[in-house]
Structure 1
Amino acid sequence: MEKIAWVTDSTAYLDEMLSNHPDVYSIPMVVYFEEEEFLDGVTLSLEDFYTKLEASNTPPKTSQPSVGAFVELYNKLAESYDRIISVHLSSHLSGTVSSSTQAGELVDIPVHTIDSKVISFPLSAMVKRGIEAQEAGKSYENIIEILNDLSTKCDIYVLIGSLEQLHRSGRMSGVQKLLGSLLQIKPIIQIKDGTLDVAEKVRTHKKALLKIVDFLEVAQANSTIKELFVLHGTNVEEADALVDNLRGKYPDIPINRFPLSTAIAVHAGVNTIGISWYNE
């Protein structure tokens, strides 16, 4: 049985199963604070990021891992593995998939790069499903087919924590930001097929969360949802309250909260909250 290495990037939250798995590797995104460069999760923890964010007058920036960083990792993995399956955040939101694909052409080990079309824990969940398929004895071709199919089935609805940071990241025009601030409009961002879109514009935070739950109810009526992911920034108490609320509505579905990564919080804001699921 061939040995497969699993690679993802630091936008994926590694839970206990993934962080303790001997065949799972995470390549860090690059975060810039003014003139300083940090490796997400390596030289910059999530807690340190939030501390620096409060103290900095200049908004941080992010960059995908370089082709060279991938080549270095893949060459190292080639010493112990027969094949690499590399699953990364949406290619519409980052060049990480491109870096991995280019690196795969420069190394001697087979590398299969998967565009997850998602972010955060939904990306982690996809890696877990791939590992489950491997442990069930599926071929690598079948595993890749399963992952590509999953990439078309995820819904992510996010209530953006900071219009200012979304504007700085180039995802919202200055006029939209100004109108949103003046009218207290809360844009609900949907990530569908890997791209960002405004699913709804709601006047209050409370109404926006209720609207996201409405989207969930429609999805639940039309498909099978095996697990719900509540995504959050520093607003842990709000996330816990949302988890409790959803558990009351859906007692048969596992529901847990997961922090957004540093690279996502840079663009969305620290008080971002959202819900995600796979329609199966």
Structure 2
Amino acid sequence: MPKIAIVTDSTADMPLSFYKENDITMVPLIVRFGEDTYKDWVEMPPKKFYPLLKQVDVLPKTSQPSVQDFIEAYEKHSGCDHIISIHLSSKLSGTYQSAYIAAQNVGTPVTVIDSKQASVGTAAIVKELIAARDKRLGLDEMLKIADDLIGKMTLLFYVDTLKYLEMGGRIGKASALVGSILNIKPILTLEDGVVAPFKKVKGRKKVNRELIEALKAASNGKRLRVCLMHADAPEAIEELEALMRQERLNYELSIKSELGSVIGTYTGPGTIGILFYPIDEQPATQLTSGKRNQQGYDPC
């Protein structure tokens, strides 16, 4: 079977241990506080980022990895037959474009995928590709898995304020919500990779109920795979998860992660989000840390 490597970027918002344990190459984006520059997650983990964000009056600057960063990442896999490189929405960042240009300048064939997602949306696709790789599925099968998943994922997220998205120029179709009356809380989504309004809710307490209703509507007799995310709001995401258990929804929790410094720059602290998609009625693939070779996968 061909040896296939998987590359992603730091906005998948997974801990560094995840990439090491699953033989994934992660290329970090950059966040800048004034003259100080940090690599997302590598040098600026969430626990360091949010206290800094709350102290500054000017939004940090973020930047995509360079083409050379991706060339170096791809060259690490020169022994592979193919590389799948999966990244956050091309409409939110130039990361995809950097990866695409780099792919034309290395010897190993690279397929660059626009996830049309961000954070746990990208991570969910990476996780499914890991499972497929470890089962020794072929390239075409893996690419179909990614394409099918992109088409059926739903990401909903609540932000305490729209100011971070607006200041950072990532507000997209949700611009119409700017200036809404006090106590109207926006639930947002990604439509074809662009931030868009999903629903306006009056009062913070009703946000979780709307997210639960969206899960119920999506389930409709199907089992859902669910990913949760938050920005410096662990208690809020625990509250949502508790409500999900209370409602006895038909789901399995795949990922629970904190938003990193790049995504968190645009959502701001207090954000919570949920991503979900229907799955076949079968046990989820279990990813065992650091045991890829025991499953038959040959790293390249």
TM-score between the two structures when normalised by the length of structure 2: 0.85
> Quick one: distance in 2 between partners of 1:147 and 1:122?
11
Secondary structure at 2:11's aligned position in 1? coil
Residue 264, structure 1, aligned to residue 271, structure 2: no
Counterpart code for 2:277: Y
Query: Which runs of 5 or more structure 2 residues have no equivalent in the other structure?
Result: 280-300
Residue of structure 2 equivalent to 1:247: 245
Greater CA deviation, 261-270 or 13-22? 13-22
Equivalent residues of 1:4, 1:23 under 8 A apart: no
Change (3 A) 1:174 1:274: closer
Secondary structure at 1:55's aligned position in 2? coil
Change (3 A) 1:250 1:193: farther
Residue 140, structure 1, aligned to residue 135, structure 2: no
Equivalent residues of 2:71, 2:106 under 8 A apart: yes
User: Aligned ranges for residues 91-130 of structure 1 at < 5 Å?
Assistant: 91-130=90-129
What fraction of aligned residue pairs are identical, expressed as a percent? 33
Change (3 A) 1:226 1:220: closer
Secondary structure at 2:157's aligned position in 1? strand
Q: Deviation per CA, 1:4-55, whole angstroms, max 9, x where unpaired?
A: 2211111113368833435201100111112222110122122111122122
Residue of structure 1 equivalent to 2:195: 196
Change (3 A) 1:152 1:175: closer
Residue 274, structure 1, aligned to residue 273, structure 2: yes
User: Aligned ranges for residues 40-55 of structure 1 at < 5 Å?
Assistant: 40-55=40-55
Secondary structure at 1:228's aligned position in 2? strand
Alpha-carbon RMSD: 2.1
Equivalent residues of 1:154, 1:192 under 8 A apart: no
TM-score between the two structures when normalised by the length of structure 1: 0.91
> Quick one: distance in 2 between partners of 1:247 and 1:175?
34
Change (3 A) 1:122 1:225: farther
Higher relative contact order (CA 8 A, sep 6+): 2
Q: Deviation per CA, 1:183-237, whole angstroms, max 9, x where unpaired?
A: 222111011332211011122111222112211111111x634321221111101
Equivalent residues of 2:177, 2:186 under 8 A apart: no
Greater CA deviation, 58-67 or 99-108? 58-67
Secondary structure at 1:183's aligned position in 2? coil
Residue of structure 1 equivalent to 2:21: 21
Counterpart code for 2:149: L
Residue 6, structure 1, aligned to residue 18, structure 2: no
Change (3 A) 1:56 1:247: same
Residue of structure 2 equivalent to 1:70: 70
Aligned length: 276
Shift of residue 174, structure 1, vs aligned partner: 8.0
